[in-house]
Amino acid sequence: MAHKDYLHISGEGELNEMRVIDTIGLHDTGLPAEEVMRRLSAFSDLVPLGISCFLFVARYGRFKPEHEAAVDAFVRNVGEDALAHTLLVFTGCTLDASELADALEKNAPESLRKLMPRLAGPPIGIDNLGQAKAAREALHSAIDGVITCADGTLYTHAALAEARKRYDAKREEERAAFASAVSDWRKTGSGPVQIEREFEKINVSE
């Protein structure tokens, strides 16, 4: 399972820390519930606070039966409420937003028509091969829209809830260790103290 962290500047100029995860087979049509939980648990520690947006990616063209089955399996595995945080992304698509909307209005199969209102926003099309930079910008803009519409609400799951407990416990341990180190330093007053944490170093000195 691969993941990548990076900084993204939104359209409003806000700097956001982003983490993208390539999940493994959550839309597998034959996956038993126990295996789904195992796979969710495998990446839950990477997103202990929850998930802002799922990207369901399909090659532009006919929305095929295997895509329909994959969506059904995805919903069955992670729950209907995940769709409110899901964006359908068509790759290899050279149409702009209005052209894509018109094409879907005229040609989308019934299954896709029923799915679209349940998603976080309208499907987007990106020309990820011919116009990679524009594709990234369009995708980020759509993700920003999903996050804004959700008004800070994140998708959570039983596996993610357990990861949140571990995250909170770890932070509490760090706070307790920091408080203890500062208390010891104040008692002895013997020079500076350096406390190393996962993402930062804190120096305490007179």
Candidate ranges 10-14, 120-124, 147-151; pick with highest mean pLDDT = 120-124
Span 182-197, mean pLDDT? Answer: 66
Predicted local distance difference test score (pLDDT) of residue 195: 53
Please give the pLDDT value at position 183.
Answer: 82
pLDDT at 135: 94
Q: What is the pLDDT, as a whole number, of residue 29?
A: 60
Q: Does residue 2 carry a pLDDT above 90?
A: no
Mean pLDDT throughout 105-111? 90
Cα dist from 102 to 57, 96, 105, 123, whole Å = 20, 10, 5, 12
In the chain, ranges of CATH 3.40.50.300 domains: 2-156
Q: Which residues contact 3 (CB under 8 A, 6 or more apart)?
A: 19, 20, 21, 22, 43, 46
Q: Is 153 helix (H, G, I), strand (E, B) or coil?
A: coil
Placement of tokens 């020079």 in the chain? 191
Mean pLDDT of 137-142: 92
Q: Considering the domain delimited by 2-156, tell me its CATH architecture.
A: 3-Layer(aba) Sandwich (3.40)
Claim: this prediction has a pTM higher than 0.75: no
